[in-house]
Amino acid sequence: MENALTLSAILNKAGCDYLVYDLSRRVTEIPNEQFEAVENNHQPYPFPIQQHAQLGVAFSQAGQTPWVWFLKMPLDERGLLNQAALGDFIQFVAQAMGATLDKKPTEEEREKLVNNPYTFAPTDDKKAIFHALLTENLNLPASQYFDHTQHYTAGELGWDNWQGVGLQGLADICARMGSHNNLALIKKALSNMPDTPKYALLGCLEHCELPASLAKRVNETIGELLERPEVDLFLLTAFVRALSGADKTLLSERVQLLIDSEKLAHREMLIAIAGRCWHVLDNPALLDAFLIRVAACDDATFFRQIIADLVMIPALRPQVLNMLHGNASPTLLNAVNELQNAVKAGND
C-alpha cells in the first residue's frame, strides 16, 4: 500500500506540478516516479551524503511562479528515507499551510514553514546551478545576470573585468550551453579567464552533463596542468570535478590515470573522485585501486569516512560490502592491514 503521507501525494492532491533535484552530490534531477518510490521506501535514496538526502523540491500550480523547498532528510543504514522525519515535515507543512497546497502561501505561512529542522541552505554554487537548471527546465527566463555574463565570456569586456559577473549568470550559461552559442563561450572563457572566475565556472560545470567537445577540452586541460613543473592541485581538482559530467568511458580513463599517479593521491583529489565521480567506481578494479590510494594516506579516520560514504550509494553498495567481507585484492587487503597496524602502533 502506498504511503498517503508523502510529499508527492500531497502535491499531486493539490494539483501541483513539481520537480525534484538532488543537491547532495551533483545537482541532478530525480524523476518523479523515482522520487515517489524513494518516499515509499521502495528503493534507497540514489545520491546520499553523510547519511542524508539533500533535496530541492520546486512546485506550482498552472501559471504560478514555482515555490521551492530545500530539504535535508535523514536516511537509515540501508539508505532508505526516514519515515518519521518525513512525517514530521509533513506535519510542519500542515500546521503552516493547512491541509492542501492549492493556494499561494502568505509571508507568515512561508516563515512558519522555513522554521523547521528539515530545511537547509544549500551552498551558493549549488543554489545557483539549481535555479539555473530549474528555470531552463521550465522554459523560464534566465536571471538578470545572464546577458552581462554572456558579454564577459565572449571576451567583450576584458578578461580581468570579472568582478561584475554574477555566479548566477555563470550558472545560467552552463545550464543553457545548448543554446545562444553558450557552449562556445564557455570553452573560450575556460581558456582565457583568470583563476577566480574560472573556479566559479568550473563549480557550475560539475553539475552539468558535458557535450563531447567540452568534455574533451576539460580533459585536455587536465593533461596540460599535469605537465606543468609545479602542479596546482586545487585547480587540477576543480577541473576533475567539472569532468564528472563527461562520457563515462572518458571519465573512467581519466580517473584511472589520476589514481595510478602516487603524487596525486592527495585528499582533495580523492574526495573529488568520491564526491563527484563516484559513478565510475562501479568498476571493481577501479574501486579497488581507488581504495588502495585512500588507505595509503595513512589516516584510518579518513579511510573509514570514504568507506562510509561509498557504501551508502546504492550503485556501489554491493561492491563495497563485498570488499569489506574480505573479497578485495591482496594489495588492498595488505594496504588496509598496514593501516590498521599503524593505528595500533600509534595507540601503544
Give the tens place of pLDDT for each residue, 157-216: 999 999 999 999 999 999 999 998 999 999 999 999 999 999 999 999 999 999 999 999
153 and 259 share one domain:
yes
Evaluate whether residue 275 is within a structural domain: yes
Are residues 99 and 142 located together in one domain of the fold? Answer: no
Is 282 within a domain?
Answer: yes
- CB-hemisphere CA count at 13 Å for 111? 3
The pTM for the full model equals 0.91
Work out the average pLDDT over 23-38. Answer: 97
pLDDT, tens digit, 9 for 90 and up, residues 97-126:
665 565 666 677 667 677 788 999 999 999
Per the structure block, which three cell numbers stand in for 42?
A: 521502495
Give the domain extent around 271. Answer: 124-347
Q: Are residues 187 and 314 in the same domain?
A: yes
pLDDT at site 224: 96
User: What was the pLDDT predicted at 1?
Assistant: 32
Last residue of a domain, one of 48, 79, 114: 114
Same-domain status, 93 and 177: no
The answer to whether position 256 is within a domain reads yes
* Domain membership flag for residue 303: yes
pLDDT of residue 255 exceeding 50: yes
Asked if residue 242 lies in contact with residue 277, where contact means CB atoms within 8 angstroms, the answer is no
Residue at 106 is within a domain: yes
Q: Is residue 119 part of a domain?
A: no
Q: Which of 81, 114, 147 is the last residue of a domain?
A: 114
Pair 338, 266 in one domain: yes
State residue 193's pLDDT score. 97
Q: pLDDT tier at 2 (50, 70, 90 boundaries)?
A: very low
Q: Is residue 1 part of a domain?
A: no
Residue 337: per-residue pLDDT: 79
CA dist 48 and 99 (Å) reads 30
Phi–psi pair at 68, nearest 5 degrees: -120, 135
Please answer whether residues 57 and 68 qualify as being in contact, where contact means their C-beta atoms are separated by less than 8 angstroms.
Answer: yes
Instruction: Look at residues 75, 93, 114 and tell me which one is the last residue of a structural domain.
Output: 114
2 in a structural domain? no
- How many other CB atoms are there within 10 angstroms of residue 57's CB atom? 19
Which of these, 221, 231, 230, lies nearest to 198 by C-alpha position? Answer: 221
| 50 C-beta neighbours (distance < 10 Å), count | 13
Once rounded to an integer, what is the mean pLDDT over residues 12-29?
93
Long-range contacts of 138-147 (CB under 8 A, 24+ apart): 138/19, 138/66, 142/169, 142/172, 142/175, 142/176, 143/168, 143/169, 143/172, 145/169, 145/172, 146/172, 146/173
